Amino acid sequence: MVKNNFQEGAGRSQRQLRVGELIRRTLADVLMRGDLHDPDLAHISVTVGEVRVTKDLREAVVFVLPLGGVNTDLVVEALTRNKGELRRVITKTMKLRYSPDLKFLADRSFDQMDETNRLLDLENVRRDLDKE
């Protein structure tokens, strides 16, 4: 059985969290400045919500969401096409031994928050919460 490199039970280490945050900031800066010359990313504001890094720091999953949540699949595809350039910028900026392989996914955390709020606003849930 293949072992999952992403820690789920015990949580991520400080090193993983620190490197993930540095990668997130670096990608956000590159996207904000418009350093990528891709027509699909031109004039689109992209939010880099989170970056999860494996224990060996060789893989990173980047959760992104375009402003307004429209054309998410197009943005993910464009970032995947340009991942070589983004890896080069990350390695140059952060001085890492290995350039992490980037995998881009749509950030669904906002959808999950909306669903949680909807569930909390249900009448029977509200009634149970008001008892306390």
At 77-104, the pLDDT tens digits run 999 999 999 999 888 888 777 889 999 9
Among residues 50, 41, 53, 67, which one has the least CA distance to residue 109?
Answer: 50
Report the pLDDT value the prediction gives residue 61, as an integer from 0 to 100.
Answer: 96
* pLDDT band (50, 70, 90) for residue 9: low
- Ramachandran angles phi, psi of 45, nearest 5°: -85, 125
Residue 68 tokens, joined: 């307004």
H/E stretch holding 63: strand 59-66
Between CA 6 and CA 109, with CA 18 as vertex, the angle to 5 degrees is 60
Mean pLDDT to the nearest integer, 16-33? 92
Rounded Cα distance between 95 and 80, Å, is 22
Residue 6: the pLDDT is: 53
> Which sign, positive or negative, has the C-alpha torsion 110, 116, 120, 123?
positive
Which residues neighbour 130 within 8 Å (Cβ) at sequence distance 6 or greater? Answer: none
Residue 48: name the closest of 29, 35, 34, 33 by CA.
Answer: 29
Compute the average pLDDT of residues 21-50. Answer: 89
Report d(CA 99, CA 80) in Å as an integer: 15
Structural domains of the chain, ranges and CATH numbers in brackets:
14-107 (3.30.300.20)
